[in-house]
Amino acid sequence: MKNIISLAILFLTLSCSKSNEEKKVVVNNNPLYGTWVLSKVLAGFAPGLDYTNEEVKWIINSETNILVQVVEGTLVPPFMPLNENGTYPYSINPGTILLEDVTYDYSVTIDTLIVSKDAASDGIIYIFEKIIN
């Protein structure tokens, strides 16, 4: 009888425990993580450029790199950072992001990313909308 009870306890213990892989929980505190599509570029007093068909995507799924996808034929301002297909390094500090060795201001909400350079003095503002977490 002791053997049966011991086997039953062993069976229940082994069948109910999860492997170490299943127990891992990834917590991501980087608010930039996700897929962002460019929706608008504002530059000083010039008319803004609107993007509506996911022509420019920034995919941020690491602490150090941004994957950029630009649909062929899309008019992207030459002064815009990360304006060609590729993988680019980035780093963030509170309120700033370093892209291509240039420091930009940024702010992020749940579904909007704003990257700007000298916005207070008619600089450039890039507005992105989040489409995937």
Q: How confident is the model at residue 18 (pLDDT cuts 50, 70, 90)?
A: very low
> Which is more confidently placed, 47 or 71?
71
> Which is more confidently placed, 119 or 126?
126
SS3 assignment, position 131: strand
The set of residues, in sequence order, having a beta carbon less than 8 Å from that of 4 and lying 6+ positions away, is none
Strand partners, 107: 114
CA distance to 20, 108, 117, 125, per residue, from 120 (Å): 50, 18, 9, 10
pLDDT at residue 17 above 60? no
pTM of the model: 0.75
Kindly report which listed range (9-13, 40-44, 48-52) carries the lowest average pLDDT score: 9-13
